[in-house]
Structure formats: structure tokens, C-alpha cells
Amino acid sequence: MLDVEKIRRDFPVLNREVRPGVPLVYLDSTATSQKPRQVLEAMDNFYRASNANIHRGIHTLAEEATASYESARRRIAAFINAAHAHEIIFTRNTTESINLVAYSWGRANLQAGDVIVLTEMEHHSNLVPWQILAAERDLRLEFIPVTEEGLLDLEAYHRLLDLRPKLVAFTQMSNVLGTINPAAEIIAAAHQVGAVTLVDGAQSVPHIPVDVQALGADFLAFSGHKMLGPSGIGVLYGRTELLEAMPPFLGGGDMIKRVELRSFTTNALPYKFEAGTPAIAEAIGLGAAVDYLSAVGMQAIEQYEREMIAYVLERLEEIPGVRVFGPAAEHKGAVASFTMPEAHAHDISQVLDELGVAVRAGHHCAMPLHTKFGIPATARASFYLYNTRQEVDRLVEGIYRVKHIFG
């Protein structure tokens, strides 16, 4: 069991009042998580004591900076059980990680008429890069349907596999529905027809144990800022043999072994894909975030959030007119996107904010999914290891306030 009150003491912002007498209830961790003092201190200590560029100097600060940066890479590799630290490529975020695969692996391996299978619940970051590539290479995009219950239609998926796709790319956890997809099953079926797989782990890696070797994933993308780390740092995991065969994504310093006037030789992994000075402090901060999550325990976090979402759904179901999207609690992460007949999602969010409750409102970068359900927007409350049942009760009180104002 988590000691949530102890955990909350590590997050300075959770002590904030958004206005006098109105304490913050932060329910927007799906968009970005808050940061514990351990992450803040790790980044501050780097800038105060060891700030230098990496891989390029032999003085003390440069060696300390390089050691800290590469130590973070090794700990992140262990966190997702990558076979090798060089399979961890630092990027800016999940979006850049997916674009890296599209631009490098996609352009090297996909030809006119090839099929890519995606899903109807994808974030725009796992739609638009493939749409761009499809238009450029005359590729065919197909989509696994989402059922009314918010689950993937796996029978339809297996029919799509008869098309012999070259790539299957999907989210492990929906940022709108909270649906936790059966990643291992989807990947195994894709491999049976020779497809490469890419998993969008932006929502899953922060909240559930993810083992890339057990899943059999070829690529996995995730972001630091959603898992207690800083913004501006993300990760692309890729299997060694795939990364070695891929051309570089960006050109410049650190991704080269040798440069002549008319040619160059690429550096070894992972540096082949890390051109220029990277986000050093941010990588160190992400390493500290991984340490924090590991110390708490990902299985404990997953169990706590399952109990939390069950309570959230129970409370929301008691409110007349509120419609929550997505599956039942046993198939769902700690995300509750909802509508109510009295008010638009933006009005819901604004009223809740007046009460100190921070939720998201809009299409959450998943416009096709909202179109699928015939709605323009939802209000989304999302939860993490630092949230409490009392905060759920504050959310419910706020929704009743919305009903009073607009009803």
C-alpha cells in the first residue's frame, strides 16, 4: 500500500492555494505530472555543481556531467527492462520519438501500397506522422475500431492482419478513455505476419509496469514530463538490430564518428540519433524520476490507481446526467473523461477551477476519437500516485456545483 500522505509531502506544488483559502486539487496528470523535490534537487544540483557539456571534454565537470547523463540512461533502460542501455534514445518527448521512427525507419522501409495499422483511439502524435508519410509514399492506413465500451475490437484487428501490414502502431493506454490495451497480444499477432510494432507508452509507462522484452515491443515511446520528470525530455526505445539498420534522424554534432567535406560516418548507438547538445539536466531529472517511481514500486502504483479509478467511477455514476467514457475499472487506467448535459466541457473546467480543482477540457489531442463518440469535447480528470479519495470527493462536489449553476 502506498503512503500517500508521505508521497504528497515530496511535491511542493500540492501545498499551493490557487487563491486564498482554496487549496489546489491537481487532477491533470495525464497532461503533465507534478514533480517531486528529488527531481527538482537533482537538476538543481547539476546546474550548481557539474554543469558542462557531455562527451566532449576531459575536465572534471565534463566527466561528471557525462557520467550523470549516461547513468540516467542506464537506469531508464532498467526501468523498462531494455536489454541494452544503447537501446534508449533520448528525444524531446513521445511526439519526437514517434516522428523519429516515421522519418528514419519508415522512409527506409515503407513503399507505395504498404499498410500501416493504427487505432481509432490514437493521440494525434501517433496519427499525424503516419498521415504525412502515407501521403508522401502512397501508403495505406487502416484502423482498429473502438467499441462503444471503449475497447479495441480485436476481431477486426485480426482481420486487418490479413492485409500483411508492415507496421502496427498503437497506444498502450488511451489518454481519453483510460483503456489499457492488451499490448503483448497485439504485438504477438503483428509479429506473426511480419509487422514491426510501435507502442505509444506516454500514458502507460508512468502508471503500470512496462517490460519491453516481455511485451516483445520493437519500439516504445514515452515522455519524461508525464512520469514525474521534467518537460523537454523523452525516450525512444528500439531493438538494437532495428536501430542499427536505420539511417540517422538529424545531422550534426555527437551523431558522427568522422566527417569529411563530402561524407560522414555515423556514431555508434545511441549517439547516432542524438545530434547536438542534448537536454542534459532534463535527462538527469528523468533519471531521478525513475528512481522515485522504482522506490515506490510500479506494481504498488498500478494497484493504488486501480482502486482510485474504481472509486472515481462509483462517485461519478451517482451524479445524474454525467456520462463517463471508456471501459469498466478493470480495463482502465486512472483517467475519467466525461460530459454532462448542462454544460460544455470548458464551462465545467472553469467552474471547477474556481473551486481549486484542475481538470482538462477539450479533445485532448484525440479529435477522431471524440468524433467517433459524436462529441466535440470532454472534461477529463486524471489521477496519479499523489491523489487522494478526498480529492475525488472535491471533484464530485464541484460537478454538483456545475449542475447548480447551469441547471
State pLDDT tens for residues 214-244: 999 999 999 999 999 999 999 999 999 999 9
Per-residue pLDDT band for 1 (boundaries 50, 70, 90) equals: confident
> Which residues participate in catalysis according to the annotation?
365
Nearest CA among 87, 43, 90 for reference residue 228: 43
Report field, pTM of the whole predicted structure over 0.95: yes
For range 126-148, the mean pLDDT: 98
Mean pLDDT of the region 319-348: 97
At 56 the pLDDT is: 81
pLDDT > 90 fraction of the chain, expressed in percent and rounded: 99
Mean pLDDT of the chain: 97
- The model's pLDDT over 349-382, given as tens digits with 9 standing for 90+, comes to 999 999 999 999 999 999 999 999 999 999 999 9
Q: Can you tell me the mean pLDDT for 24-40? A: 98
156 pLDDT tier (thresholds 50, 70, 90): very high
Confidence at residue 327, expressed as pLDDT on a 0 to 100 scale: 98
Per-residue confidence band for 57, with pLDDT thresholds at 50, 70 and 90:
confident
User: What was the pLDDT predicted at 173?
Assistant: 98
Residue 259 forms beta bridges with which residues? 264
- pLDDT tens for each residue of 114-135: 999 999 999 999 999 999 999 9
Q: Tell me the pLDDT band of 313, cut-offs 50, 70 and 90.
A: very high
- What is the average pLDDT across 66-95? 98
pLDDT at residue 149 greater than cutoff 90: yes
pLDDT of 407:
82
The domains of the chain, with CATH numbers, are 4-30+297-406 (3.90.1150.10), 40-295 (3.40.640.10)
pLDDT (0 to 100) of residue 326: 98
Say if residue 44's pLDDT is above 90: yes
Task: Determine the pLDDT at residue 21.
Answer: 95
Q: What pLDDT, on a 0 to 100 scale, did the predictor assign at position 316?
A: 98
Residue 86 clears pLDDT 90, i.e. is over it: yes
For the cut 90, the answer to whether the pLDDT of residue 159 exceeds it is yes
